[in-house]
Chain A
Amino acid sequence: MAASLETLKRKLWAGKADLEILVFTYLPLVVLILGFVLPLAFVLTKASGWGELLTPNYIDFSRTAFSDAVVVRHGSLGDMPLTRIIIRGFNFGVIGNSIFIAVVVTLATMLVGTVMALLTGFYLFPGRRLFKVLAFIPLLITPFVNAYVVTRIVMPKAVDYNVLSFIVSKLFTEPLLHQKVFIGFEAQAGVILAQILMFYPIVYINALAALAIVDSTLVEQALNLGARGLRLLREIVLPLILPGVLAGATLVFILSLEDLAAPVTFKFYHVMSYQIYSYFQAANATAYMSTIAALSVVMLAAALAPLVVIRRYLSLRYYARLARGAPRPFKGLRLGRRGMLMAYLVVLPFAVFAALPQLGVVVLAFSSNWVGTWPSLLPPKLAFYNFESLLHIDGIRLSIVNSLTYLAEAIVFIALLGFMAGYAAARSRLPGVSLLDLLSSAPLAVPGLVVAFSYLLFFTRYTLFGFFGTAARLAIMHTLVLALILRKMPFTVRGVFTSMIQTPEELEEAARSLGARRLRTIARIVLPLTWRGIVAGLLLSAIYVLSEVSVSVTIGALGGGIYSAHHTGPITYAILQLIEQPRVQFVEYMGHIVRISSEAQAAALAVLLMVIEVAVITVSTRLARRGQALVTV
């Protein structure tokens, strides 16, 4: 500590640390420590019970952990033989599962996301636009409803097709083999599948942004020298976009660790995030604080490990750019015949499948319920019934207003603090920078529910003159916005950081040596070169603020149910209440009765959320005139 103070003093003395870099480094750091570390420490001090974490309930690599990974049963249904295939995966205990799932999902999304990015960003081929749109769809997050739809697609059903089985049976096995097949994903396998579908666009979007700033001269030189196909990709393009891919992969790893929706949907409770969630969902939850805390520490450590490793890796492998001004993006290469085959036979079906949940949400929004294999569509005259019935509820209109308000407030602070933190992490050499780098990504690694829980305890006690809190309406809103800012800022920080290290520092040094202050350097050199990465990061932040679940449904719920006149819940909270409530509505239509389930209404609300998300993305893409990194829909 004394040593670093000494360094600080020396640097200030030598004039190396200007005012701007001091602010950029320490302002976000202070905010993160006060708003994030302290509340968490409040809870973490109560951690204990470490020995238990070594028992088979938490880590289990014995023989039983591997059995029944895939269950195959033969039988018959009606007049046809039936094979049931249930893919369950393994059960390595709470901690083992979380880490296994995160590793598998990260590797798979790296592969798929990179392939997708190369295909749409590097090659020219007929139908490229379709791929872009498809890869974009899973980015639209529709909490709870999405999960509900995924179960309808891949969860096994006893006596009925799920959507996946229907497609496989009707297209292949029934006509070809005269055999029905029920395929279902459950438990660990289900979680892995759902998370790959959910998260691959994160790698995709990061890889695409990295691809957009690859200097075309490098590619052209490689082409001139005869590099083609895989070799060109492997030796030139991949190393150049690696920082982007790794940044995306790091995010996926962390998101997978903290994800709650997939374990809940697939009823796979032996993961850390779910255990933490369930402990304080349960009655008398305060009694379990020590376990929540201990698991949080493990999760935090697991999530931070790759960040540390990758940061070192990124700084070691700095691929020099040609120092002659801004790069000219590569215009694209024509895709060969084998590439086309692969694109249409392998990548396309996957992209379509990954987009199914979102499409299902849209269909459900125009349906009355989803009881059988397919949703029951509403009669044409009632097609918009779910939307109309929603807008008659004041509380739901208010939830939309709340969501937009939170987004508007949060995004400004995310942009400012996120840029400062990302910039400082890449450029500042002041003591505490590596701490800032770690801390700015750490909020992603802590499950939102733990953040919510720590906020509930912390801000009930320390309200900062009533500005924060868990009781008064505005105080709740401030607390919620603070949580949103800190939890969703990392997307922007990573985006800025990646762009920064792909931009040669020499340009800034040159400007500064000619007398430009740091702020001017940032405005004239850094921003023009890195705004693409910043916008990509902000975009992710915005989407994740809108679709944030854990804090929204806990802190957000403190203002009352969605039927309270002044509730503080955003859209996700309204969706949760609609999904949770046991409500069936009967609407008489042409002499027969249509049964409308609340899930269908929730789907309608989710569609509204998607529309807002699309609007946000479209606007941002328009702002960034040459928005090649993102799709315009």
Chain B
Amino acid sequence: MRSPFLVMAAIAIIVVAAVFIAATSQHPKTPTLTVTGTPITSTGAKQTPTTSATAASPARATQATQKTSTTQATKTATGCKEWVTITVLTRHPADIQEKAHDAFLKSELAKKYCIKDVVFVSLPAGFWSIRIKNGQADVGWGGGPTLFDTLYMQHLLSPLKTKVGLEAAAQVPDTFAGMPMKRIKDGKIYWVAAAIASFGFTVNKEVAQKLHFDVSKLRRWRDLASDDLGLLLLHTGTPELAIANPLMSTSNTRMYEIILQAYGWNEGWKILTLMAANALIEQGSAAVRDDVISGKVMVGITIDFYGYTAERLNPACQYILPQGETIVNGDPIAVTAGTKHQDAAEAFLAWVLTDGQAIWLDPDINRLPANPHVFDMPIKKLAEIDGVPVSVMEKQVQLLRKKYEQAMHAKTMKFNDTLALDTEMPMQMYFVATLVDNHDLLVRAWTSLLKAYYIDHKISKEKFEELKNLLGEVVTYKDPVTGKMVKFTQQDAIRVNKILEKALEQGNAKLREAYMNAWRAAARAKYEEVLKALGG
């Protein structure tokens, strides 16, 4: 052998060849709808058995072989000519995906509709529209109504068309505790709630005790914006509240919308501003939950099942529902526009809304189902779907039925869904521009104000309230479109929303940035004004 370089080149050639060989042999295993858009032909079906056998590890090979044999068995039973793989975009965590994957493929519906596999794609919400537009998805599942309404507005959802889908959707009530469980337009159903959730906050009582803070003081959203929490921040140097960036968390977005409606727009923004001033702003709802569990903060705003998770991981945690200031939300499932497998996609949706509801009752998942009929299903069947002992499932059914009824009768507020949707984009952007991007400055202004009044006794009560009001006041900014000075009222938010939607439809994204820049600058000026008034 003359040179090591030649050896390396030879290795490279072998590897390239191997990759190509693998490519030709594995090709059919690719989900059909995602390759070229052509449905699987009989050749595809014929090659199915070889696909999984190429798996590298022996363990996987055995598992794959087993799977193939069942597929073949059902093929003869149902006489499927074309096998379909459906792609589900999801925000649900992996354990839910795992349970749904296995249970659905065993179901009668999957066999009837010749569904060979379900591929779950966990993508950030921002990627969903690209995937759907490229025809690379069949179903969207989980992520909250905010996300699904955004998709609905972009015409990226397909209404339910088949009998099986519509019948399953009919089992879910149209509203629950006053909130819509479906998005219906002109008699067509675009999304259906697959699970329900409430919103509140989770406190860590052990941290509260060590800080000598009376937890019973935290009952309403307003209590999270209190001077008391601000003083704790001043004393310890670290925030005791955690909240999340609305652009990164659909559940937190919904909570801010609740606050804006419970207290009204102007008062709502004062509360949000002071909450943000008191808080550590996380980039996701799971981080907020972890902060409470680990005792990094005393309280965090969470969706109910995160609260339950916290209670289970750390018994010092407790989930609190702000009475009269919460809503119960539906977490949707929908068929995406441009799917090439409408029937199969609706079959999956139908399963999720019926037998698949059992997944929520799993002791590791603990969410509230959207279809109450699940509580009347035979316990044995539920236990079988989740793969847990019958005795455990019995307890779970009792527990979650109780929570379901509590949620149904929870003192909820009247929530205007349309209004929330009409202001959502500007609300999220304004929140980020004024409270997240300027967080340092906001905190400095707020703690200086608290210090001046409570510790240095430098300013009067009236002055304190005046400056506090100023801090939380919605800004007056120079509109980038009209050039006029406008106040960010609810009406203005609706106006901006229309402008932005239109601009986005035309593919103009710069306007969005322009508004955020204007709000950011105005908020900065406002915080500096407060600091200046305090002589800082």
Chain B 118-145 interface residues, beta-carbon cutoff 8 Å to A: 118-127, 129-130, 134, 136
B 189-217 contacts with A by CB, 8 A: 206-207, 210-211
Contact of A287 among B147, B206, B512 (CB under 8 A): B512
Q: In this assembly, does A527 line the interface, its C-beta being within 8 Å of a C-beta of chain B?
A: yes
A14 beta carbon closer than 8 Å to chain B: no
Check: B422 CB closer than 8 A to any chain A CB.
no
With A563-B97, A577-B122 already in contact, the answer to whether A285 and B90 are too (CB < 8 A) is no
- Tell me if A283 counts as interface (CB < 8 A to partner B): yes
Give residues 341-390 of A contacting B (CB, 8 Å).
Answer: 369-372
| Interface of chain B, main secondary structure | helix
Is B248 in contact with chain A by the CB < 8 A criterion? yes
Q: Which chain B residues lie closer than 8 Å to A584 at the CB level?
A: 309, 312-313, 364
Complex CA–CA separation, A227 to B237 (angstroms): 52
Residue of A nearest to B439 (CB): A269
| Closest Cβ neighbor of B25 among chain A residues | A474
Say yes or no: A519 contacts B3, CB within 8 Å: yes
Interface assignment of A617: CB less than 8 Å from any CB of chain B: no
CB proximity of A222 to chain B, nearest CB, Å: 35
Task: Let me know if B379 is at the binding interface, CB within 8 A.
Answer: no
Are the C-beta atoms of B126 and A285 separated by less than 8 Å? yes
Residue of B nearest to A416 (CB): B12
Q: A158-B238, A397-B59 are in contact. Are A283 and B146 (CB under 8 A)?
A: yes
A262 to chain B, nearest CB (A): 14
Contact between B136 and A470 (Cβ–Cβ < 8 Å)?
Answer: yes
Q: Is the CB of B94 within 8 A of A578?
A: yes
Cross-chain contact A581 with B94 (CB below 8 angstroms): yes
Q: Give the CA-CA distance A609 to B187 in the complex, in Å.
A: 53
Within 8 A of A (CB), among B2-41: 2-6, 8-9, 11-12, 15, 19, 22-23, 26-27, 29-31, 34-36
Contact with A along B301-315 (1 / 0, CB 8 A): 000011001001110
Q: Which of A290, A471, A522, A557 contacts B35 (CB 8 A)?
A: A471
B509 lies within 8 A of A289 (CB): yes
Is there contact, CB below 8 Å, between A281 and B248?
yes
Residues of A within 8 A of B11 (CB): 412
Most buried by B among A52, A281, A291: A281
Whether A290 lies near B286 (C-beta < 8 A) is no
Contact of B67 among A267, A471, A522, A565 (CB under 8 A): A565
Number of A residues near B (Cβ < 8 Å) is 100
Enumerate chain A residues within 8 angstroms of B281, measured Cβ to Cβ: 267
The answer to whether B282 touches A267 (Cβ under 8 A) is: yes
Query: B-facing mask of A468-486, CB < 8 A → 1, else 0?
Result: 0011111100100000000
A505 contacts the other chain (CB 8 A): no
How far does the Cβ of A94 sit from chain B's closest Cβ, in whole Å?
A: 9
Give the CA-CA distance A586 to B366 in the complex, in Å: 13
Given that A278-B283, A281-B126, A583-B93 are contacting pairs, would A471 and B237 also be in contact in the complex, using a CB cutoff of 8 Å?
Answer: no
Contact yes or no, B294 A290, CB < 8 A = no
Contact between A71 and B283, CB atoms less than 8 A apart: no
Within 8 A of A (CB), among B315-360: none
A583 and B364 within 8 A (CB): yes
CA A456 to CA B87, docked complex, whole Å: 17
A56 at the interface (CB under 8 A from B): yes
Q: Which of B106-114, B400-408, B513-521 contacts A (4 or more CB under 8 A)?
A: B513-521
- Does A45 lie at the interface of the complex (its beta carbon under 8 Å from any beta carbon of B)? no
Q: Is A394 an interface residue, CB under 8 A from the partner?
A: yes
Contacts of A475 in B (CB 8 A): 30
**B-facing residues in A561-578 (Cβ within 8 Å):** 561-567, 577-578
B33's nearest neighbour on chain A, judged by CB, is A471
Closest residue of chain B to A187 (Cβ to Cβ) is B440
B437 at the interface (CB under 8 A from A): yes
Contacts of A71 in B (CB 8 A): 237
* Complex interface: chain B residues within 8 A of A287 (CB): 504, 509, 512
Which residues of chain A are within 8 angstroms of B207 by Cβ–Cβ distance?
158-159
Q: How far is the CA of A284 from the CA of B512 in the complex (A)?
A: 11
Map CB proximity to A onto B494-536 as digits: 1 under 8 Å, 0 otherwise: 0000000000100001101100010011001000000000000
Enumerate chain B residues within 8 angstroms of A519, measured Cβ to Cβ: 3, 5
| Closest Cβ neighbor of B126 among chain A residues | A285
A55 close to B (CB within 8 Å):
yes
Report the nearest B residue to A49, measured CB to CB: B513
Min CB–CB distance A46 → chain B (angstroms) = 8
Chain B residue with the shortest CB-CB distance to A531: B4
B124 lies within 8 A of A285 (CB): yes
Closest residue of chain B to A75 (Cβ to Cβ) is B235
Minimum C-beta distance from B410 to chain A (A): 22
> B5–A564 contact, CB under 8 A?
no
Closest Cβ neighbor of B2 among chain A residues: A523
**CB-contacts of A88-145 with B (<8 A):** 91
Q: Are B130 and A158 neighbours in the complex by a CB distance under 8 Å?
A: no
Confirm or deny: B166 has a beta carbon within 8 angstroms of a beta carbon on chain A: no
B280 touches A158 (CB 8 A): no
Inter-subunit contact A158/B313 (CB<8 Å) = no
Distance in angstroms between the alpha carbons of A1 and B35 in the assembled complex? 41
Cα separation A91 to B440 with both chains bound (whole Å): 8
Contacts of B59 in A (CB 8 A): 394, 397
Kindly report which residue of chain B lies nearest to residue A583, judged by CB atoms.
Answer: B95
- Which one of B52, B237, B513 lies within 8 Å of A73 (CB-CB)? B237
- Chain A residue contacts of B19, Cβ below 8 A: 409, 478
Known: A155-B296, A159-B210, A474-B30. 15 other contacts (CB 8 A): A84-B236, A156-B237, A158-B210, A267-B280, A284-B126, A371-B314, A398-B57, A398-B60, A413-B12, A467-B23, A472-B35, A523-B2, A523-B4, A565-B67, A583-B309
6 A-B residue contacts at CB 8 Å?
Answer: A67-B444, A73-B237, A84-B236, A283-B126, A288-B512, A371-B295
Residues on B lying within 8 angstroms of A by beta carbon are: 2-6, 8-9, 11-12, 15, 19, 22-23, 26-27, 29-31, 34-36, 52, 55-57, 59-60, 63-64, 67, 87, 90, 93-95, 97-98, 101, 117-127, 129-130, 134, 136, 146-147, 150, 206-207, 210-211, 235-238, 240, 245, 247-248, 250, 280-283, 286, 289, 293-298, 305-306, 309, 312-314, 363-364, 425, 428, 436-438, 440-441, 444, 504, 509-510, 512-513, 517, 520-521, 524
